[in-house]
Structure formats: C-alpha cells, structure tokens
Amino acid sequence: MNRPALIVLAGLALASCSREGEGEAAASAPTRPAPTAAEKAELLATLPAPYDQADLENGRRVFARCRSCHTISEGGTNMTGPNLYGVFGRPAGGHPDYNYSTALRQAGFAWDAARLDEWLENPRTFLRGTKMSFAGIPDAEDRRDVIAFLKVETGYAPPARP
C-alpha cells in the first residue's frame, strides 16, 4: 500500500475511536438537546407576566455581567459561583458540589422569579452574609429580561396544565 493511503486509513481509525469515546461520555452524563429558538419563544409565552414580555436578547446581554462567575449549561462547571442549570425550583444553596456561604445554605427557600428579582436587585441586602460579591442590577426591566433568559436557558419547565 502506498504511503498516502496508509495515512488516510490511520486517520479514519482515529476518527472512529474518538467518536466512540464521545458516545461513552454522552452515556455517562446524559444531556438534553439545547432548546431551539422556537422552543424558547414558546416557553417565554407561557411565563407569567411580566416575564412573557421579556426581551431575551437583552437578557443575554445582561447575563454577560454574570458569566465571569456562573455557567448555565447542563452539567456546567462551578466557577466562583455555582452552575445555574436547573436553578428554578431548586433550594437556595442546593447545588450538591458547590461550597456555599452559610447564609445561602441556610436561606430556607427555593428559587423562583420573585426571589431572584430581589436577589439580583441587591444580593447583599437580600441575604446578609452571602459571598456573591455583585453590586446588583438596579433596572427592573434588565432584571425581568435576565430572569426570563435564565428560565429558557436553564431547563425550567412550566408546571403541567390539567
């Protein structure tokens, strides 16, 4: 066999190996396919007011202020702050692998839009002793938009209707 053909064969063998590797990784950590833009718009429309009126693009821009400390994808790493996938309905301080402040761990509530709104307006007055050093988002519309953005990006599912 000539040399270029061998190189091609070796390349194919490597490519199939790495595909198998990815398959195993996917099997051990199942991830749902990310929602499409249409699915996000549909979910947005089911949110209670004022969130159904939110501007998701602005929400994405506002979230740029959080990105240095938080990931939002499923299984995303904890950085300075915890991964926020699945945060709605999760007890405050509830990510199993993140080392929270005592204040947040003992907060005693589950996150919903209303709590998040107060938290994001001023984390330190909302929860004294938190280690989230973030000044807050003074603008109510920016908070609305970033909360709606988080709902559609972090796996929130609206309660099933009868």
Closest CA to 93 of 104, 85, 103: 104
- Please, are residues 134 and 122 in contact by the beta-carbon 8 Å criterion? no
Q: Extract the tokens encoding 136.
A: 């807050």
Rounded to a whole number of angstroms, the minimum distance from the CB of residue 155 to ligand HEC is: 14
| Contact status: 131 vs ligand HEC (CB under 6 A) | yes
Nearer to ligand HEC, 84 or 152 (CB): 84
| Contact status: 100 vs ligand HEC (CB under 6 A) | yes
Answer for which of 146, 148, 151, 152 binds ligand HEC (CB under 6 A) is 146
Q: How far apart are CA 107 and CA 123, in angstroms?
A: 13
- Please, are residues 80 and 68 in contact by the beta-carbon 8 Å criterion? yes
Rounded to a whole number of angstroms, the minimum distance from the CB of residue 45 to ligand HEC is: 22
- Position 142, amino acid: D
| Contact status: 134 vs ligand HEC (CB under 6 A) | yes
CB-based contacts of 46, cutoff 8 Å, min separation 6 = 52, 158
Q: Which x/- pattern, by CB under 6 A, does the window 38-77 give for ligand HEC?
A: ---------------------------xx-xxx-------
Nearer to ligand HEC, 43 or 93 (CB): 93
- Please, are residues 117 and 150 in contact by the beta-carbon 8 Å criterion? no
Q: Which residues bind ligand HEC (CB under 6 A)?
A: 65-66, 68-70, 80-82, 84, 87, 92-95, 100-101, 103-104, 111, 116, 120, 130-134, 137, 146
